[in-house]
Chains A and B, each alone.
Chain A
Amino acid sequence: MSPNARRLLSFLGILAVLIAMWEGYKWMGTATGGVWPGTGIGLPVRTNERSMPHTWDVVIALLRPARRGGEMLLLVLLRAALFTWRSALLGFVLGSAVGFGLGVLFVRSALAERGLMPHVVASQTVPILAIAPILVVWAGRLNVTRWLVVAVVSAYLAFFPVAINTLRGLRSPDATASELMRSYAATPNQVLWKLQVPAALPYLFPALKIAATASIIGAIVGELPASMPDGLGRAILNFAAAFSAAPEKLFASILVASLVGIGFVGVVVLAERVLIPPSRRLEDLSEAAGPQSRTLKEVVA
């Protein structure tokens, strides 16, 4: 079996296990009346249709009209996703460019790194939910199109992992390689483009994968204070408000939102496959610190 087939199979296998766990839990709760079998201890999550719809109901909901007599929910969500993805893509490009620029600045100047790095780290501890409305209000005075503002919020999340990993990558060449460049009397720009940047590429791609997911989250969160009617942010908010009536619609929008994120990461992976030979690829994402886990929680809250 080819490695790709094996990967696909293990993905599907785990997906099947997750679905089985969801449905199994639901079945157990229904059978016992909401307690752990043989005890009187209540289950943490209720298993009725209002809390946990069947997985197939979520899929079926996607294929039904979003509103009575309206368009299919899937189409509505895909259109919203496309709208959000436009902001996210711009945010990703903007954030990656800024992150790369900061990495270069830091490797060039120890002073800049000492002075700016604490602020860069601090920027990621500020809740994006607080930053987004401020940016929206400021941009409102400048008459900037709303979706561009959303892109800036998205870039705010995307730049950080890129900056950190670019710096790591630019610093990755051996001391002897730097000394070799010194012996050629290479200019700082030649050292950057002929040694440091090529050496940094394998470090850059894991960060870009994180930036891709972070930019989607940033765009969804950014749409809320910007009161964008067309994106995934509004759709999620609406379906959250109607959760008890139609929980499967919120789950369906989560599904579409994550599929957009996965698709975006897939594009970055393809770019990596084309640009970086297998011997130089880093599989290790753990070193590329990302803010996405925190913001996911914010969105759910």
Chain B
Amino acid sequence: MSALALRGVGKVFNPGSDQEVRAVHGVDLSAERGEFISVIGPSGCGKSTLLRLIGDLTPPSSGTVLVNGKTPARARLDRDYGMVFQSATLLEWRRVQANVELPLEIMGMDAAERSRQAAAMLELVQLDRFANHYPWQLSGGMQQRVAIARALAFKPSILLMDEPFGALDEMTRERMQSELLRIRAETGTTVVFVTHSIPEAVFLSTRVVIMSPRPGTITEVVDIDLPEPRSDDTREDQRFFELLTDVREGLRAVEDS
């Protein structure tokens, strides 16, 4: 059973009106468990909408989405999704530890277990020393690591990330990417990752999906056959540069069309 199976998926906003937008059109995509899929494309190509369709944040207008063989609504109720957005969206009145515990609280885990689990997650993102800080006391990169710890706290089978490092500076960004790979290696989570950075997509992914706008559809899928485990050396690998070129050409084809 695939972790993800999309068939003929489309999304039309404001159908029938003069503001009708075909955000996503005829998307077929599947992913095996443990894959890391990046979705890349110019602004307005529907990549965020695609992520929202998978995560049951908006219903599709056509086609079917299956997550672990279930409808997105079922998968959401089964707590299959961990979500990370561009803004960390931490609750400002909760300390770091309590922010990570939030989903566990909602799922009814008892306090001792919750506390143990959240502490383990903070250790995973190397923020255990900041458990008692408030979000505003942390840098943007640290806040985003808390958001990742929170998303992973309940061990979701699929992680949906919408430009999670988009607001970070380049150095922080590369460090976060390495950390995300390490975390994924430890947890084996399937990841769908929306970005508009080519090096980020290539460095992280097992496959890069290129989308074009109006209507948002998949134009090319690039398999990333970089050696594992990846490290900072990977970024200087000859193959890394070749793949960057492949993805860049795929994106250029989109813009020329």
Number of B residues near A (Cβ < 8 Å) is 24
A180 interface residue, CB < 8 Å from B?
A: yes
Set of chain A residues within 8 Å of B136, measured between Cβ atoms: 279
Q: Are B106 and A184 in contact (CB under 8 A)?
A: yes
Q: Are B87 and A186 in contact (CB under 8 A)?
A: no
B252 → A minimal CB distance (Å)? 32
Given contacts A176-B85, A183-B55, A183-B83, contact A280 B93 (CB under 8 A): yes
State in angstroms the CA–CA spacing of A177 and B94 once bound together. 13
Mark each residue of chain A from 186 to 198: 1 if its CB lies under 8 Å from any CB of chain B, else 0: 1000100011001
B103 interface residue, CB < 8 Å from A?
A: yes
Q: Are B102 and A179 in contact (CB under 8 A)?
A: no
Set of chain A residues within 8 Å of B79, measured between Cβ atoms: 184-185
B167 interface residue, CB < 8 Å from A?
A: no
Set of chain B residues within 8 Å of A190, measured between Cβ atoms: 106
Q: Are A180 and B89 in contact (CB under 8 A)?
A: yes
State in angstroms the CA–CA spacing of A279 and B137 once bound together. 11
Interface SS, B side: loop
A183 → B minimal CB distance (Å)? 5
Q: Are A174 and B87 in contact (CB under 8 A)?
A: yes
A108 interface residue, CB < 8 Å from B?
A: no
Residues 97-114 (chain B) with a chain A CB within 8 angstroms: 102-103, 105-107
Residues 263-294 (chain A) with a chain B CB within 8 angstroms: 277, 279-280
Set of chain B residues within 8 Å of A185, measured between Cβ atoms: 76-79, 106
A251 → B minimal CB distance (Å)? 45
State in angstroms the CA–CA spacing of A165 and B105 once bound together. 28
Contacting residue for A180 out of B83, B93, B105, CB 8 A: B83
A7 interface residue, CB < 8 Å from B?
A: no
B240 interface residue, CB < 8 Å from A?
A: no
State in angstroms the CA–CA spacing of A181 and B76 once bound together. 11
Q: Are B57 and A181 in contact (CB under 8 A)?
A: no
Measured CB to CB, the nearest residue on chain B to A177 is B89
B220 → A minimal CB distance (Å)? 29
B92 interface residue, CB < 8 Å from A?
A: yes
B100 → A minimal CB distance (Å)? 13
Q: Are B87 and A198 in contact (CB under 8 A)?
A: no
A182 interface residue, CB < 8 Å from B?
A: yes
Q: Are B107 and A198 in contact (CB under 8 A)?
A: no
Set of chain B residues within 8 Å of A186, measured between Cβ atoms: 106
Q: Are B76 and A183 in contact (CB under 8 A)?
A: yes
Q: Are B107 and A184 in contact (CB under 8 A)?
A: yes
Mark each residue of chain B from 107 to 129: 1 if its CB lies under 8 Å from any CB of chain A, else 0: 10000000000000000000000
State in angstroms the CA–CA spacing of A206 and B87 once bound together. 28
Set of chain A residues within 8 Å of B107, measured between Cβ atoms: 184
State in angstroms the CA–CA spacing of A198 and B91 once bound together. 9
B81 interface residue, CB < 8 Å from A?
A: yes
Q: Are A184 and B89 in contact (CB under 8 A)?
A: no
State in angstroms the CA–CA spacing of A180 and B85 once bound together. 9
Q: Are A179 and B93 in contact (CB under 8 A)?
A: no
Set of chain B residues within 8 Å of A184, measured between Cβ atoms: 79, 102-103, 106-107, 154
Interface centre among A182, A184, A199, A201 (most CB of B within 10 A): A184
Residues 124-143 (chain B) with a chain A CB within 8 angstroms: 134, 136
Set of chain A residues within 8 Å of B76, measured between Cβ atoms: 182-183, 185
Q: Are A194 and B89 in contact (CB under 8 A)?
A: no
Interface centre among A183, A198, A201, A280 (most CB of B within 10 A): A183
4 shortest interchain CB distances as A-B pairs: A176-B89, A184-B106, A183-B83, A184-B103
Q: List 8 A-B contacts (CB under 8 A).
A: A174-B87, A179-B83, A179-B85, A181-B106, A182-B56, A184-B79, A184-B106, A279-B92
